[in-house]
Structure 1
């Protein structure tokens, strides 16, 4: 028996061996699972990142339902599960937000919140117009999508002038046609009477 006293080495392989890797979204296609699979773990050291990634991979991660209290600033500012420090305190102290150990600034991966703010600004507009604005920003700033004051003012100006923004639509060509088709029917499907 492999668990008998004094038997430290097993001579046989394990009885049930996995034929394929575990997939946490194989039978679970909910939005929560999609969100967790796309979650980018930042602000923690490499060891803590591996731990949280393992929890996500094997469906052991339990996200927060409400913000938690930060150990550093005593405010309810922690947005991610298993963290004890908010992002602001962790970057100020150069420590891991989960285990509170000292980490060099280049090892600590900090999330880029300006992109989130830009996405929130553009959330309420249609996809086509949103992509047009993102293309214009990337063109003027060379692919750098950091949220600077000039970018914010540029986006706000584009949002104000959204109706005048030329998206490549050829509405003028459609004015040449009237409401009836060539077969004599109008848009409602009724045929004209002679």
Structure 2
């Protein structure tokens, strides 16, 4: 062996032995506590002014709960986490606010920004539940909680009808079929 040369690595694996697969196969997607206040705040934050690559990185961080929002603004007027430039400067230069590359800026519609949508859905739910008896209301709320039905699936039942049989265990299509038979 020559002086000053590094020794070569020797394999400890026997010949023909295969490497085993990874221990955890990632069969299930990561699910964090979606009902926490902090998670809702993080998911509601918009992802804008970034190129496709940076947008994907930030969305990944949000999905796997790695996103850490800023507690105080950085230098100048940078108020968003992982951004280097403020929105005004990045828009003026037409660059990505994170990597400062002149790539196409992607505008992502935030699927978790449901303030208007959630408000409209809440009002619709309240309006539909207001016309129900207590037993009916609780039944539909349990089904909503379990995810068996959506708000749109709840029938409109108003108190003004005065019809005792306004709520039944039949679906709307079954009731229509009965009406057609008569």
- Where on the TM-score scale, by shorter chain, does this alignment land: which range? 0.3 to 0.5
TM-score (norm 1): 0.44
TM-score (norm 2): 0.47
